């Protein structure tokens, strides 16, 4: 259950909660009094949740969502930047954030971000690192740093945004500080679903993903992750693991026997 805004002071460090329900892991960013802006504690909680999920082969899909109904994640808590004394502090900050985003991006199963309200700054980076996004009408995305903090994005995060949104959209988000609605985002970036239908949409997606071959999804996701930074990446190990898996043998036997395959993820 989400913590009500009146029960959680804005100075709260917040938390990131993990719940596992069968093949579905659910991560909740829980600091609604501050639009779920990420504190260091929350980033560490996210890293811990990702480590737990990665170590559990029974999990087939992960859903990420913000508490409170007003935001997914509204960036990194700005007050934490008051401790910066030089550009070196920013380099260390970006290293830490890169580790958190990479941990999410490297999860071995498909991930779904549910956007209800704002996904800006660090929240945009988190949502963008997921494989799918489901947004309610009017949800907003962006990185309006040229209008707000006057900082910049790392090259790694610019690469991620450009890969999913395209260069023209990224330039508009940063050079014009635009925060487009879900309806205005590039095609296929997010499924735009009425608020009352979001839960059913998510459950249908989870059920569909959970019924597919997890080894195939895992190998493909890792290959795509490697190719994002190295177009010549070698995926021979992934091909070997997949074709050598028990699931591949099960798939062949099930296909020939004209029965549904029983995937085990092995």
Measure the CA–CA gap between 124 and 113, rounded to whole angstroms. 10
Q: What's the pLDDT at 47? A: 97
Average pLDDT, the chain: 93
Tens of pLDDT, residues 171-215: 999 999 999 999 999 999 999 999 999 999 999 999 999 999 999
What residue spans of 16-83 are helical by DSSP H? Answer: 40-54
Tens of pLDDT, residues 47-74: 999 999 999 999 999 999 999 999 999 9
- pTM for this prediction: 0.92
Measure the CA–CA gap between 181 and 44, rounded to whole angstroms. 29
Residue-range domain boundaries for the chain? 5-210, 214-257
Query: How big, in percent rounded to 5, are the helix, strand and coil portions of the chain?
Result: 50, 15, 35
Three-point CA angle 23, 25, 31, nearest 5°: 165
Fold assignment, 5-210: 2-enoyl-CoA Hydratase; Chain A, domain 1 (3.90.226)
């Amino acid at each position: 259950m989400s913590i009500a805004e009146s029960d959680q002071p804005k100075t709260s460090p917040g938390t990131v909660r993990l719940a596992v329900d069968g093949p579905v892991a659910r991560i909740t960013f829980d600091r609604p009094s501050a639009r779920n802006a990420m504190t260091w504690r929350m980033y560490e909680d996210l890293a811990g949740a990702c480590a737990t999920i990665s170590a559990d082969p029974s999990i087939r899909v992960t859903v990420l969502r913000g508490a409170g109904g007003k935001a997914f994640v509204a960036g990194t808590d700005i007050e934490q930047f008051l401790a910066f004394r030089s550009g070196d502090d920013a380099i260390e900050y970006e290293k830490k954030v890169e580790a958190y985003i990479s941990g999410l991006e490297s999860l071995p199963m498909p991930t779904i971000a549910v956007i209800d309200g704002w996904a800006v700054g660090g929240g945009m980076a988190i949502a963008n690192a997921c494989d799918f996004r489901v947004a309610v009408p009017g949800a907003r995305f962006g990185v309006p740093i040229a209008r707000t903090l006057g900082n910049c994005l790392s090259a790694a995060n610019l690469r991620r945004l450009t890969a999913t949104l395209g260069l023209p959209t990224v330039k508009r988000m940063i050079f014009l500080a635009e925060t487009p609605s879900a309806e205005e985002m590039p095609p296929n970036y997010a499924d735009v679903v009425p608020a009352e239908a979001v839960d059913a949409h998510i459950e249908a997606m989870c059920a569909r993903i959970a019924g597919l071959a997890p080894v195939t999804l895992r190998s493909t996701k890792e290959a795509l992750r490697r190719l994002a930074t190295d177009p010549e990446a070698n995926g021979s190990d992934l091909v070997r693991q997949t074709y050598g898996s028990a699931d591949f043998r099960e798939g062949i036997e099930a296909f020939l026997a004209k029965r549904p395959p029983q995937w085990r993820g092995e």
